Structures are given as C-alpha cells and as structure tokens.
Amino acid sequence: MKIIILGAGQVGGTLAEHLAREENDITVVDTEGEKLRELHTRLDIRTVIGPASYPMVLRQAGCEDADMLIAVTNSDEVNMIACQVAHTLFRTPTKIARVRATAYLTRKGLFAHEAVPIDVLISPEQVVTDHIRRLIEHPGALQVLEFAGGLVQLVAVKAFYGGPLVGQELGFLRRHMPSVDTRVAAIYRRNRPIIPRGDTVIEADDEVFFIAARRDIRAVMSELRRLDRDFRRVIIAGGGNIGERLAEHLEHSHQVKMIEHNLERCTQLSERLDRTVVLHGSATSKRLLEEENIEDCDIFCALTNDDEVNIMSSMLAKRMGAKKVLTLINNAAYVDLVQGGEIDIAISPQQATIGSLLTHVRRGDIVNVHSLRRGAAEAIEAIAHGDRQSSRVVGRAIGDIELPAGTTIGAIVRGKEVLIAHDDVVVESGDHVILFVIDKRRIRDVERLFQVGLSFF
C-alpha cells in the first residue's frame, strides 16, 4: 500500500516503523527536519518537510495516488484540514485522523463524508482510558484485550511461584477445569516467546497470554496466580483528559481521589466530576501522599504528561504502601526499564494507539488489531469469508489449517457463541477468528489466509 503519514512524532514514527517493515510504500511529512532525518536513517521511507495540511506539500508527498492518509500531527485542526484537502483535491480513498479534543468528538455529524471527510477517527485518550479501565476491572492482569465486542478477552498474567498451575503441563489445565474452556495463546519466558503445546510446563514468572470468554476470565486467572481482591480505593495523579475520563468512569463504583498541580484545572475538575475528591498539589509530594493515606490505596495511577513525574510519583507511592502502581510512559525506551520492578504496570500510549491504526491498514477483513510486547507480536481478529474452494480456512478444522510459523488460533466467535480453538473445531464463513502472532514478519502470511480466492466470485 502507498501510505502517507502526517506527523513524525512518537505515534507517527512508531507507525512508520511498523508499516515499513511490512513492505509498504511510506512517506512521512513533518515540519521538523531533524525528526525526519532520524527516521530516514533508520527506515526505508520517503520524507517531506512542510506543513502537513498544505495542498502543495500533500501533492509532493504523493497524495494524488496514495491509498491512505494517516494524520497524526500534534494539532487536531491540521489533521482535520489535511483530510479535507486530501478528499477535495486528491480523492484519497482512506483518511484516518487523530483527534483529541472532546469539543470536536462530541459533535454529531461533524465527521461525515459531506462535512469533515474523515473515514476513521482515532482518539488516543479514549483508547488509553479503556485500556486502563480494563486493567482496574481485572486486578493482577498485565494486559486485557477485547475482541468481538467484548465477548472474548485475551489476558496476560504473570504466573506466581506456588500458583496451582506452576510446574504443571498445560494439558493439566483442561482436566483441572473441565467446566471452563480456555486456551493459552503464548508464553513469554525471560522475554522469549514459547508456542504452547499440551506438554509445555508453566514456570514461575512466565508471562502467560490466555484467551477465554469474558465470563470465564476470573476463573482462569485464579489458576495462574493468587487472585488480587477487587480494587476499591483509586488515586489518580494528573487531571488531564485521560485522568478525567478514567475518574468519570470509576467514581460511581470506586472511591476516587485525584491529584492535580494546576489550581484552575482543579476547579474545572471539581465542577465536572460528581464523587471524585480533587486535590491541589504535586503527586511527588510525600506529605500529600501521607495525608491521603496512600498505604490504604489499592491502585495508584500516574497519568500526568510528564514521564519523570509519573515514574517518580509511582515509585514513591509504592514505597509508601500503595498495593499496585500503574504508570503512563510516553518514552518507549523507559517502558522495559521500569516495568516489573517497583512499577507493576507501565503503559505506552503509542502502543495502545498503534493497534487502532493497524486495524485499518491490514489486508483482508481485519476488524481488530492489538500490538503487543512493544510491537514484537500482534493479536488479530479476522473474519473468515468464502467456502472450502475459495478460502484457506473456511470448511477446515483448526488442526488442518496451515498456520504461519509462530501463529496460534485462540478462539472463534460465531454469532454470540464463543468457541475456544481446539483442533476439531471447523471454521465457517462469517466466523470471527482470533489469532496470536508472535513473529511480525508473518503478518502478510496471516492476511493471505483470510483473503478470498477468485473462485468465490
């Protein structure tokens, strides 16, 4: 595909890296030459310097014959105008834009073909908020991903020493829990992936990705680790868009306190939020954390715009007795450094957003993509089409499908029914198939599996 990315920031740069690896024709546009030079030295891409919404700059980037425009600059307005120009002057088929401001997102009919012609809207704050909300709903999980409208979840947990399954073969799981159907999609041991088989033995500290119907998630988690009690007391550091949205969602079911250093913003938040206690001060203030009884806090969420403040306040909260700490980190290089030490869960907004963007770039009928392990792996939800003659998957049992190396099928959703993937399950046309791909180089092979042959037509 010929793809133009507007904005060479962290999301734009990470996306260019993902897509360039997959043999796409990528052009990145930005006003900062230094960022473009850095990308150009690492990746096989074209770069154009200039304002992303100018018709001349878009023409220079090749908008006349581009398949897709992805506008992820730091300005909502530039992203919106760029999509308008691409539509009006160049008839670009697919236009994706990142829009952050709630003032735009809440206006019905604004993003329509006859108004502002954006085909796909990405709101990073909403994506990250949903991600954090799911982690709070599942104490003990490192990652919780939803498929098929929430019917199926893929959950990553760390297996703890002394857990019921540690030291056991995976085949034991099915015998031990005959009433709950689940499948382990992948295991990461000391950061190396293992494709699970029935005789694979789970070790303490393994990161285990398992898939199950939403209703069975807690039962499976209890087998892999001691179940943490539900989070009740939540402290949020940072009253920005993500902090505010998370507080809105949690305040009617949890005790929520929010720390915000800007007094004017504190006033706005206290007027908008119903039950959240809004505190004016610094999240790195030991005295403030002591006064707010940090030792009684179930989870401390550091969600400010400053990585250093998030990391330092999280480490301080943990040392002062917070049960769990969750930290938002923009600099991807920091994520691996801090997670698993005093910081329980580190979240990269770029990785959460990338999945939303990749969903629309994949070939075949792909409805959901989640980027995992800092982009090394992907979880994909694809819809099977065709019949036995035209499709490589329809009409075949899972055990007979020739999957690319490092790929596992975790589950199939047929209507409202969740079928965990066992070898004898036969794929039907219209099924939502959920796959785990540990080797990103195999993505094209996975896409080809779900592309329909000519005989179907």
**122, 146, 180 - which closes a domain:** 122
pLDDT tens digit string along 382-412?
999 888 888 888 999 998 998 888 888 989 9
Residue 100 burial (10 A CB sphere; 0-12, 13-18, 19+): middle
- pLDDT above 70 covers a percentage of the chain that reads 95
* pLDDT range class, residue 266, cuts 50, 70, 90: very high
Do 383 and 437 share a domain, yes or no?
Answer: yes
- State which H helix or E strand residue 306 sits in: none
The closest of 139, 194, 191 to 345, measured between CA atoms, is: 139
Q: How far apart are CA 365 and CA 367, in angstroms?
A: 6
Per residue in 123-137, pLDDT tens? 888 889 998 998 898
Asked which of 8-17, 169-178, 211-220 is least confident by mean pLDDT, the reply is 169-178
The total number of structural domains in the chain stands at 4
Residues 403-446 have pLDDT tens digits of 888 888 989 999 888 998 888 899 999 999 999 888 777 888 88
In a domain, residue 252? The reply is: yes
- Whether 455 is covered by a domain: the verdict is no
**What CATH number corresponds to the domain at position 72?**
3.40.50.720
> What pLDDT does 454 receive?
42
Q: What is the pLDDT of residue 225?
A: 60
Check which CATH number belongs to the domain holding 421 and give it.
Answer: 3.30.70.1450
Buried b (16+ CB within 10 A) or exposed e, 217-233: bbebbebbbeeeeebeb
Determine, yes or no, domain membership for 457: no
Domain assignment of residue 272, given as a range: 233-351
* Final residue in a domain of this structure, among 316, 351, 386: 351
Rounded Cα distance, 393 and 140, in Å: 35
Residues 256 and 340 in one domain: yes
Tell me the pTM: 0.81
43 in any annotated domain: yes
Q: Are residues 114 and 195 in the same domain?
A: no
Write out the DSSP string of 79-123: HHHHHHHHHHHH--SEEEEE---HHHHTSTTSSSTTSS--SEEE-
Rounded CA gap, 312 and 308, in Å? 6
- Which of 64, 91, 122 is the last residue before a domain boundary? 122
Judge if 203 and 244 occupy the same domain. no
CA 366/CA 363 separation, integer angstroms: 7
Percent of the chain past pLDDT 90, that is, above it, reads: 41
Written as six digits, the tokens of 263 are 């007094």
Judge whether 456 lies within some domain: no
Alpha-carbon span 457 to 116, nearest angstrom: 35
Two tokens, residue 214: 């939403």
Q: What is the DSSP letter of 389?
A: T
Verify that 145 and 118 share a domain, yes or no: no
pLDDT in tens, 152-209: 998 888 887 777 778 888 877 777 777 778 888 888 888 888 888 888 888 888 888 8
Give the mean pLDDT of the chain.
Answer: 87
Taking the C-alpha atoms of residue 180 and residue 202, their distance in angstroms, rounded to an integer, is 19
Q: Are residues 307 and 379 in the same domain?
A: no
**pLDDT at position 455, please?**
40
